[in-house]
Amino acid sequence: MKELYILVDKEICVACGSCQTWSPDVFAYDEKSCAYNRLDNNTGTVPVPEIIWDQVMPTKYLCPTQAIKHSDKPFENFNFTPAFWADSPDNPDITYSIEDGEWEKNELWLI
């Protein structure tokens, strides 16, 4: 059976409130106003209950900084890769980030 593990990269979290709004059972904010996975105190080692996967996965994609990481295996000694953001000059709803040496286009979807 497949499992889902969630971890928040606190280095790039901007505390926008999106994750806690959409998945309050999983995400909360710490004393520094950074989001964290409340199921395992952000260690990424406790699987998310399958019954709330449909709630959690869209939240990951709604994160404006892509700070929510997911895996089908527990996170162990996870090294956060810094993300660098640049606004698109043609469209303010598009940003570009570089992770692992590759540029990635990120479109902002408003619901």
**pLDDT tens track for 20-77:** 999 999 999 988 889 999 999 999 999 999 998 888 888 888 899 989 988 888 887 6
105 Cβ contact list (under 8 Å, min separation 6): 94, 96
96 contacts 106 by C-beta, under 8 angstroms:
yes
Pairing of strands 27-29, 102-107: unpaired
Query: Is this model's pTM higher than 0.75 or not?
Result: no
pLDDT at 111: 41
Spell out a b/e string for 22-34, using b for 16 or more CB atoms within 10 Å of the CB, else e: bbeebbbbeeeeb
pLDDT band at 8 (very low <50, low <70, confident <90, very high): very high
Whole-number Cα distances in Å, 56 to 10, 17, 87: 17, 14, 27
pLDDT digits over 65-102, tens only?
Answer: 989 988 888 887 655 554 444 444 455 455 545 455 55
